[in-house]
Structure 1
């Protein structure tokens, strides 16, 4: 008998899973599933990811194909390199990596800017109060031109 027509114990479970997700799959047609050896291969038509799936102790387990694993490992290596560069940059900061707070000079400069801003704002508020002090509420300001 042909191997495609032999019914394996986990194929009914696969069929049940496919039928349960039929409405969503019919909308998107995202996954293509083909029998392969002792399991099946699942292709994600949106991302191109290939997974090899099999029945392990009554549960369907899918693992990434070797190509996707290699791409994922390369991405992990790139991220680890970026982390190493960031950690090195952090270690070279004045005060070392434990210094999470700004220096005294940075604090003084920040407060200087804030003080200047507040003085200007309060000056504008005083000017507005002086301009409005002789006015009757509900009337327009006099024409100054």
Structure 2
């Protein structure tokens, strides 16, 4: 066998391409367009029913058969949601760029390091703050009575529950 030259390889590729075009043209001619609306819809069967493509608008719908007949529901178009989000983000970027351009400029040297300080260390109390007293209001008698009655009810329930468990375990129901 001898090696192919570039002109022979080009001629061979062109002949192969032409043969494929003739064969595929026969397949395309063999497929006829649906009679409904001049081939507007392209149908593909799926396990749930039929997937319908509107060739004019590009919308995709899933059609399923129910008791009343066929029902088609549009498949959500993620592209329109993505385009809307891109538009929103572009508007936000333009707004922020406008705010940045209109905002005050920083003057002076900006390369200076910030002063170091311990954020966890509490500041020394001032003399005036040291003399202040904190007053916490005590609960009223009514508040104490409410808390005590709640605790009594909770304790009684706990004791009753313990007695029931003990009876169940000992078999004295």
Query: Do they superpose with TM above 0.5?
Result: no
TM-score, length-scaled by structure 2:
0.28
Bigger Rg over Cα: 2
What TM-score do the two structures reach when normalised by structure 1?
0.32
Structure of higher RCO (CA pairs closer than 8 Å, 6+ residues apart) = 1
